[in-house]
Structure 1
Amino acid sequence: MRRRIVMSMLAGVTFMASTLLAAVPAPAAELDQPSAPSPAQAGEPAQPPAEFGTDWHDPLTAGPPVTRPDAKSCEVTVAEAQFRDFTPYKGTYTPPRGCGDRWSKVVLRMDGKVKGRQFDRLGYLHIGGVEVFRTSTPQPSPDGIAWSVEKDVTRYTDTFRHSRDVEMLIGNVVDDTYTGVIDVKVTLTFYEGKAPAVPDRVLTLQDGTLTTPRNSESIVAEVYATGSGGGCEEYWYLTVPDAAPYSCKAEHGPYREVQIKVDGQLAGIATPFPTVWTGGWSNPFLWYVIPGPRAFDIKPVEYDLTPFAGLLNDGRPHRIEVSVAGVPQGQTGWSTPVNVLVRQDAKSRQVTGKLTVHRASDLANSSTYTPGAEHRLDTEAGHRLTVSGYVDTSHGRVTTTVSRKLANTSAHRWTDGENTDALKATWRDDETVTVDGRGPAKAARTHRTYTMDGTTTLGAGDRLRTIMSLADRAAAVETRGDRRTAWSRLDDTYTGDATYTANVPRDQRHAVGTTTEHYRLYGSGGCYDRLLATVQGVVTKDRGGC
């Protein structure tokens, strides 16, 4: 693909398994249906135009809505702003009145609208310095679009109990060409009721250091890692070593790994999700209505640091470093803000302990370049880490063991001039967290698989075509002793095929495109299944039910 048109760039891990398991919604018959059914949902055949026009369906995703309890609620507006540049919105959050300070659920909702012409943009929301939401934006139609995103943010309850400073930014550029002003409103809705088991404290780093309460018995770090910033790290999975003739270079090829260290010692490893923003792969027509998985609600990478609690609980600040292995030295392009979620032992003034096992394999990363009429880069990479440690709590000694195994294979093919550019890749991130204390040991196993299979070609008449399949899959199971206590399986698969004439004004692109998203989530808590399909920006299918 030609680089002049190729990329519109963006300026206890037990929580992990339980988050996936808790995401299983009620059975399909009890689910809320979309508030405005499409003609396809209502049983009327949708009639797509011959090509994209100046308007299309508002962006939507097939993922489940956030379930809400039947309880008294209070709503607080957190931010309301129009983003035209890189000036952040700043305000003050005040806890809700009339719903107490213990809530059964807290739901964040962002409503946005934009019209004209604009790139995809990356945004964040901080409350009291805690990053509670990270998102990216859809690209607008000339006539304008509106969209919304909801997120369960109950885990940040500690942050919401007191008045806090608010900062939000969706960095944007508005000029004679890029006219889209991004208009957003963010609210929090608090539902009164019995509070779930949420972290007692939500902490942020201070000058790169962390000081935990001395009675911390569970410590989980979450990192909202995103590759972006207008350079090749937005497309890190396509980078090649210097020896290969391709426009995006990285000394060690396309493998990326998000690492966290405690006082210089490797404490956690994770695979970043290969998020594709809504201008990705040179073809915004793929993403106008249905974005790729996670694009609107960027999930953090999570690490259970409880094996290090004995070290961290000494009352002193400890250095916490997050880095992305594989990024060329000195090159920017990744954002890695960190929150730390702590559960405390209310009956102890100090919880002591020790790290007992730290076993890391060498990071394997091999890329083989094969020249030819069609160049090829084959990559195999992987890494393993096991850490274990104990804490002596008021209810006895508890040992936590975290094992993580990462693996990546990819085949990148391209021609001279990059008029054909293709990638087929798989990433695996397998994790087991075992907690052994009083009673049978508890284990949470999560197996994540991400896949990407995409090809872009620039053919006769500058007709650019992109075919894409992108999947986010996970299987999670929790056990206590030999008994399975909960399980779930997720499969969120996007497919698309879009073609347009490149390097011409917008009204001469004659674009066509079909997209689908099939989101399936089922397990011990119920099931959810929804399929969306579009043609030329018109929703032709919206089918739900298990």
Structure 2
Amino acid sequence: MCVMSAASHCLNPRCFQQLHPPLLSQQSSSSRPAMASPTTCSCLLFLLALLLPLGAVPVPLKHRFPPLDLASSFNASEPPTTFFEVDRPIRPPRGSAGPCSALLLSGSFGYTYGQPPSTAAYALPECLAAARAGGGSIALAVLEWSAECRGRQFDRIFGVWLSGAELLRSCTAEPRPNGILWSVSRDVTRYAALLSEPGEIAVYLGNIVDGTYTGVYHANLTLHLYFHSAPPRPQQQQQHADLILPISRSLPLNDGQWFAIQDSTDVQSKKLAIPSNTYKAVLEVFISFHSNDEFWYTNPPNEYIEANNIYSVPGNGAFREVVVKVDQDVVGAIWPFTVIYTGGVNPLLWRPITGVGSFDLPTYDIDITPFLGKLLDGKEHDFWFGVTNALDVWYIDANLHLWLDQNSSKTSGSLVSYDVPALALNVDSVFRGLDGRFVTSASRNVSATGWVESSHGKIMTTFYQRFSYRNSNVYSKNGRVQVVNQNIDANSGVFATNGTVLLSEEVHQVFPLYVFSGTSDEVDDEYSQISVVKLGINEQRISGGIHGFSNSSLQDAQSGRGSMRVKKNLVIAGLGETHQVYKYIGTDGCYFRDVSSKNCSVIFDHSDDSCLKGSRHDWLGFSSM
């Protein structure tokens, strides 16, 4: 089986040389080979291996599936298709003024792979400067990426940075001949301190245009601001950091500012010194996975590859963990949500409803306040990132959010307790030839407690994480069918107290995933592939303290199925349909959406923002998967 992507960041040089040699001489101007797309290359090699007779050794493919372009369905009179990711609308706080909007950057991304990012000077929008002069503050900041493209092109990963701090990680949509439109809006209010200082905007979207892949992405990046007319209340003042330090690569670069993690031994780091009056610190981590690890959750263990004489496929098993260290201390871990990009599995699944998290990739917070006692010495400290079992390539960077004591030039602290047992990882497998099953399970606990003394008093902070993981990969019909069932269960919490509970936050997330892929009707160099995907997020958040109480519940369930006819590694026909149910209930409001699409058209779309009890919403959620 292969979970197929019509577009994949071919960042592995060996992979690219096999699959797309012409671009090496014609397009690449960097030391790294030209990129073919943001997902997996060797996936297709895996598919070929599973189609071969038992015990056969696969022959490396010389081509890859191109982005789907069913010319027979093209109608020049059709308007461009609008793609979208289902999420709740971003609403300004009551009583806020705005919006005022500023265009930050406008650009076209065609021959951009291996070239420097597009940059533009960032100056405070006039309305922000005026609001600050009048004693007002940012109530809401929204970064909007809007883009269009026409023709044929792979999906591409891209990032947006302000003064080295990443604000958005996203994937482009795959265009159609009649054109596509899409936009992404991200709440960037937490970067208020960064937005209030001059800087530089950088956007990297590596793209290649040639005689076959003609799509150029035209995009605008806009900032929308809303303001509190009066000075913020104390809880608003403490909500967002006073200083944000980027943990990323610095310009100039011929790439994004992210770190590229190539394998399980590759560790990337950056040295930082933090201000001596810091009293709270949170690390926000951006992650995306590509090439051989785009579908890491489908990868077989190396023993399976070796037993079947298959050497050209991604391996290292189906478990990945991002480990974050400060100096030599593991301060947290990330078990990432399985984002499927817009060219993944079957590109027709994601037209026009894109995969969960594909347009606005999730970020992950790790509270490192308990470790501040080790960091307040004025010296530089190493912030490290690694990925357990990684294959080429993972893009990782981070923003360090710092809260500063305005009434003191020096805070102090100490780590009281710290417990990070070794990762528990187990793989059980039973195979006979290309058929069989391997089951991977894992668990991890992280906890740390420390105190910091500032003008706010002596505050004891505890941060903890608890993870569990199970992945089942079953192969049948001589390797022609693969079924993946995976579940990630993640709990995290922060408690801050000075005798009175100042803050209590707990988050419980469950990421279910089901992938079916099978091939049939093989005649010479032609066959059919059927795919079924189910994924989603089930999340509970609860927080409380001296400033109030809030909670929320999110159930986001997406399912899709599709088929393709493949001839000589080209998709000559196909269809796809997707259904998604999104349900959010919180003290800040509610939002519900039930939407379905088929073959690039929306079949039905129902939404509302009421919080009615006993409504049809009550039975929709993960059970609908």
The TM-score range, normalised by the shorter chain, is 0.7 to 0.9
Greater shift in the superposed pair: 357-366 or 416-425: 416-425
Deviations 1:488-543 (A, max 9, x none): 1111111101112123697x733222111111110222211011101211111110
Q: Partner amino acid for 2:448?
A: V
Q: Given the two structures, how large is their TM-score scaled by the length of structure 1?
A: 0.87
Q: Partner amino acid for 2:347?
A: P
Distance in structure 1 (CA, Å) of the matches to 2:479 and 2:198: 53
Q: Partner amino acid for 2:244?
A: V
Match of 1:208 in 2: 270
Q: 2:606 aligns with which of 519, 543, 546?
A: 543
Shift of 1:120: 1.0
**Aligned residues of 1:118 and 1:140 also touching (Cα < 8 A):** yes
Match of 1:534 in 2: 597
Q: 1:291 to 1:395 in 2, by over 3 A?
A: same
Does 1:516 pair with 2:540?
A: no
Does 1:443 pair with 2:442?
A: no
Distance in structure 2 (CA, Å) of the matches to 1:505 and 1:239: 21
Greater shift in the superposed pair: 346-355 or 59-68: 59-68
Match of 2:335 in 1: 271
Distance in structure 1 (CA, Å) of the matches to 2:500 and 2:569: 68
Match of 1:475 in 2: 540
Does 1:354 pair with 2:354?
A: no
Match of 2:18 in 1: none
Match of 2:185 in 1: 150
Does 1:225 pair with 2:304?
A: no
Shift of 1:2: 5.4
Match of 2:207 in 1: 172
Q: 1:321 aligns with which of 384, 389, 395?
A: 384
SS state at 2:82 partner? coil
Does 1:465 pair with 2:530?
A: yes
Q: Partner amino acid for 1:212?
A: I
Distance in structure 2 (CA, Å) of the matches to 1:118 and 1:503: 20
SS state at 1:362 partner? coil
**Identity over aligned pairs, percent:** 25
Q: 1:453 aligns with which of 504, 514, 539?
A: 514
**Aligned residues of 1:61 and 1:517 also touching (Cα < 8 A):** no
Distance in structure 2 (CA, Å) of the matches to 1:470 and 1:96: 40
Match of 1:27 in 2: none
**Aligned residues of 2:74 and 2:178 also touching (Cα < 8 A):** no
Distance in structure 1 (CA, Å) of the matches to 2:567 and 2:219: 31
Match of 2:565 in 1: 501
Does 1:62 pair with 2:86?
A: yes
**Aligned residues of 1:2 and 1:417 also touching (Cα < 8 A):** no
Distance in structure 1 (CA, Å) of the matches to 2:549 and 2:589: 14
Match of 1:306 in 2: 369
Distance in structure 2 (CA, Å) of the matches to 1:484 and 1:382: 33
Q: 1:110 aligns with which of 133, 145, 170?
A: 145
Match of 2:55 in 1: none
Distance in structure 2 (CA, Å) of the matches to 1:72 and 1:450: 36
Match of 2:447 in 1: 386
**Aligned residues of 1:222 and 1:338 also touching (Cα < 8 A):** yes
Distance in structure 1 (CA, Å) of the matches to 2:370 and 2:412: 11
Q: Partner amino acid for 1:224?
A: F
**Aligned residues of 2:81 and 2:181 also touching (Cα < 8 A):** no
Does 1:262 pair with 2:291?
A: no
Shift of 1:463: 1.7
SS state at 1:243 partner? helix
Q: Partner amino acid for 1:138?
A: A
**Aligned residues of 1:377 and 1:412 also touching (Cα < 8 A):** yes
Shift of 1:6: 5.5
Deviations 1:61-90 (A, max 9, x none): 221121135513322211211111222212
Q: Partner amino acid for 2:457?
A: G
Deviations 1:179-233 (A, max 9, x none): 11111110101223255431100112387112111111110011101111xx221
Q: Given the two structures, how large is their TM-score scaled by the length of structure 2?
A: 0.76
Q: 1:445 to 1:52 in 2, by over 3 A?
A: farther
Q: 1:298 to 1:156 in 2, by over 3 A?
A: same
RMSD: 2.3
Shift of 1:52: 5.8
Shift of 1:344: 1.2
SS state at 2:358 partner? coil
Distance in structure 1 (CA, Å) of the matches to 2:244 and 2:452: 20
Deviations 1:133-181 (A, max 9, x none): 1100111111110000101101111111122122101111111111111
Q: Partner amino acid for 1:278?
A: T
**Aligned residues of 1:140 and 1:288 also touching (Cα < 8 A):** no
**Aligned residues of 2:85 and 2:357 also touching (Cα < 8 A):** no
**Aligned residues of 1:105 and 1:152 also touching (Cα < 8 A):** yes
**Aligned residues of 1:488 and 1:524 also touching (Cα < 8 A):** yes
SS state at 1:244 partner? helix
Structure 1 unaligned residues grouped into runs of 5+: 12-48
Q: How does 1:219-258 map to 2 (within 5 A)?
A: 219-228=281-290, 231-245=291-305, 248-251=313-316, 253-258=317-322
Distance in structure 2 (CA, Å) of the matches to 1:89 and 1:441: 43
Q: How does 1:63-78 map to 2 (within 5 A)?
A: 63-69=87-93, 70-78=96-104
SS state at 1:514 partner? strand
SS state at 1:486 partner? strand
Q: 1:6 to 1:182 in 2, by over 3 A?
A: closer
Q: Partner amino acid for 1:390?
A: W
**Aligned residues of 2:99 and 2:224 also touching (Cα < 8 A):** yes
SS state at 2:296 partner? helix
Greater shift in the superposed pair: 72-81 or 497-506: 497-506
Distance in structure 1 (CA, Å) of the matches to 2:548 and 2:120: 46
How many aligned residue pairs are there?
A: 498
Deviations 1:458-492 (A, max 9, x none): 111512111110111210111349x9821111111
Does 1:288 pair with 2:314?
A: no
Q: 2:495 aligns with which of 434, 444, 452?
A: 434
Does 1:420 pair with 2:481?
A: yes
SS state at 2:374 partner? helix
Q: 1:464 to 1:315 in 2, by over 3 A?
A: same
Shift of 1:387: 0.6
Q: How does 1:405-416 map to 2 (within 5 A)?
A: 405-415=466-476
Shift of 1:444: 0.9
Q: Partner amino acid for 1:98?
A: C
Q: How does 1:111-150 map to 2 (within 5 A)?
A: 111-150=146-185
Distance in structure 1 (CA, Å) of the matches to 2:74 and 2:564: 12
SS state at 1:178 partner? coil
Q: 1:431 to 1:493 in 2, by over 3 A?
A: same
Q: Partner amino acid for 2:388?
A: A
**Aligned residues of 1:238 and 1:248 also touching (Cα < 8 A):** no
Q: 1:414 to 1:157 in 2, by over 3 A?
A: same
Structure 2 unaligned residues grouped into runs of 5+: 11-69, 249-268, 611-625
**Aligned residues of 1:396 and 1:438 also touching (Cα < 8 A):** no
Q: Partner amino acid for 1:273?
A: F
**Aligned residues of 1:220 and 1:342 also touching (Cα < 8 A):** yes
